[in-house]
Amino acid sequence: LYFDISKEKNIEKGDINSAILDLRYISEIQNKLGLIYESEKSAILALELLQQLELDNPVLASKIGIYNQLGVLYGKQENFSKALEFYDEVLDMATDSASINSLRNNKAVMYSQAKKYDFAVKELLKVHNYNLKKTDKVKIARSLDNLGFARSKIDDPLALENMREAL
């Protein structure tokens, strides 16, 4: 309720950036409450408002966040092809390597949910190689576990090795 009121006030004042932020919060809350279709509508409305703004770094960051949110939501709706479209688009927009790696991981999860494990493995190899360079042991273990799981689904002999190493 607070963010709905705030969104309306911000739209009335012409503060589109704040209205977009309110809509992103609304979409996140709706998603957490299991209201995925309502969350989708809020995210799409935020995108529509974004189109009124000149594309600068903060607007691009909002757009990336909203596209990622829509990818998650379409995955929950089991509309995997649409989710993957959003991940592909957002990967084309993202510029920093940490964000790109996170988005690739999300895309790999979507491929796994769609039972396209070969594609998931390809993305997860990129994720894991990035994590190895950053030496974050938790992320390395997580990417190995995800990679092992995806490989197990295609009877890849490296699956068990990946999962053991993740421990």
Give pLDDT tens digits for 76-114.
Answer: 999 999 999 999 999 999 999 999 999 999 999 999 999
Enter the tokens of residue 34.
């299991």
Helix, strand or coil for residue 114? coil
Burial of 20 (0-12, 13-18, 19+ CB in 10 A): buried
128-153 core/surface letters (b: 16 or more CB in 10 A; e: else): bebbeeeeeeebbebbbbbbbbbbee
Give pLDDT tens digits for 119-133.
Answer: 999 999 999 999 999
